């Protein structure tokens, strides 16, 4: 994990040095930079979620047709995904990567906010010579000690709200009642879990959670809704040909008829 932590510590210290020695701003800019670097992985994941949401009615029809035959059901689902270029496992790699980044970011923040001699020695070992003179850094911001949890619970609440919003946008709706119930439960559990993290970990990590969630929401908004299949030409309800009303004559046409 050190191959991620040391670069993140130095990036944080670099932005800290050029942004008026404001560590919260350094966290915000570093978070946006990380999201931009991982954008080629997260965008396909988001597009895949959108496509799966658009295919939900067809998936329900397949379940009704092959509900008693697991083999045919699985084959039909895979064929539907293949025809629409949807990968069932496309979101695994970005999620694993984001987990590693979150752990590394937390350790980078706590490492940069070193307070005791042992932590300062470890930070000096990781820091590049250009940013080493900045150590120790200022860990105060408003009412916060960025190395400690937020005692007024403002950041944990924002973490819960922004995580819930991103989960709501990221999770495709399901027409299957059991799957929809599970999705609803996960959309409640995940924000609460991250809120619990925010209550126990450094408030600097809460800033990372909030900014990362807001960037994720912006990405989903920019992608927009999945394209819907074009509807075919409307057919009459019966086999009889449709009659069209004659076009109304314009004043010019009436004048020509009189002539």
| In the chain, where the domains are located | 2-225
C-alpha to C-alpha distance for 116 and 113, rounded to whole angstroms: 10
For every residue of the chain, which 3-state class applies, written as one string? Answer: CHHHHHHHHHHHHHHHHHCCCCHHHHHHHHHHHHHHHCHHHHHHHHHHHHHHHHCHHHHHHHHHHCCCCHHHHHHHHHHHHHHCCCCCCCCHHHHHHHHHHHHHHHHHHHHHCCCCHHHHHHHHHHCCCCCHHHCCCCCEECCEECCCCCCCCHHHHHHHHHHHHHHHHHCCCCCCHHHHHHHHHHHHHHHHHHHHHHHHCCHHHHHHHHHHHHHHHHHHHHHCCCCCCCCCCCCCCCCCCCCCCCCCCCHHHHHHHHC
Task: Please give the average per-residue pLDDT across 6-27, as a whole number.
Answer: 92
Q: CA–CA separation, 120 vs 122, rounded Å? A: 5
pTM assigned to the model: 0.72
Query: From CA 13, how far away is CA 1, in angstroms rounded?
Result: 19
Q: Which residues contact 200 (CB under 8 A, 6 or more apart)?
A: 149
pLDDT exceeds 70 at position 218: yes
Which has more pLDDT, 182 or 207? Answer: 207
pLDDT reading at 130 higher than 60: yes
Please determine, for residue 65, whether its predicted confidence score (pLDDT) is greater than 80. Answer: no
25: CB partners within 8 A, 6+ apart: 15, 16, 19
What is the number of residues in the chain? 259
Say if residues 42 and 213 touch (Cβ distance below 8 Å): no
Choose from 6-20, 105-119, 172-186 the range with maximum mean pLDDT. Answer: 6-20
**Among candidate residues 47, 43, 25, the one with its CA nearest the CA of residue 35:** 43
92-112 helix and 117-126 helix, angle to the nearest 10 degrees: 120
For residue range 68-77, list pLDDT tens digits in order: 777 877 788 7
> b vs e for 66-86, b when ≥16 Cβ sit within 10 Å of the residue's Cβ?
beeeeeebeebbeeebeeeeb
What pLDDT, on the 0 to 100 scale, is given for residue 16? 93
Instruction: Tell me what pLDDT residue 172 has.
Output: 63
237-245 long-range contacts, Cβ below 8 Å, gap at least 24?
Answer: none
Q: What are phi and psi of 140, to 5 degrees?
A: -100, 140
Per-residue pLDDT at 241: 42
Which has more pLDDT, 178 or 146? 146
């Amino acid at each position: 994990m050190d191959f991620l932590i040391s670069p993140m510590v130095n990036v944080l210290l670099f932005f800290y040095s050029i942004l008026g020695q404001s560590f919260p701003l350094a966290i915000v800019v570093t978070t946006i930079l990380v999201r931009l670097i991982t954008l080629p992985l997260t965008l396909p994941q988001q597009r895949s979620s959108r496509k799966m949401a658009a295919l939900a009615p067809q998936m329900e029809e397949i379940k009704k047709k092959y509900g008693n035959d697991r083999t045919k059901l699985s084959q039909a689902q895979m064929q539907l995904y293949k025809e629409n270029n949807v990968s069932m496992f496309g979101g695994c790699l970005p999620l694993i990567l984001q987990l590693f980044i979150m752990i590394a970011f937390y350790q980078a923040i706590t490492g940069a906010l070193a307070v005791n001699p042992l932590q300062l020695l470890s930070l000096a070992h990781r820091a590049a010579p250009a940013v080493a003179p900045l150590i120790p850094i200022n860990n105060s911001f408003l009412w916060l000690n960025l190395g400690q949890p937020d005692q007024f619970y403002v950041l944990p609440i924002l973490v819960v709200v922004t995580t819930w919003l991103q989960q709501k946008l990221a999770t495709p709706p399901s027409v299957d009642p059991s799957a929809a119930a599970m999705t609803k439960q996960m959309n409640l559990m995940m924000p609460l879990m991250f809120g619990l993290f925010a209550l126990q970990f450094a408030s600097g990590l809460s800033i990372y959670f909030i900014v990362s969630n807001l960037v994720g929401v912006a990405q989903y908004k920019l992608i927009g809704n999945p394209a819907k299949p074009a509807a075919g030409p409307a057919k009459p309800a019966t086999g009889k040909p449709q009659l069209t009303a004659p076009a109304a004559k314009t004043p010019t046409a009436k004048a020509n008829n009189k002539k």
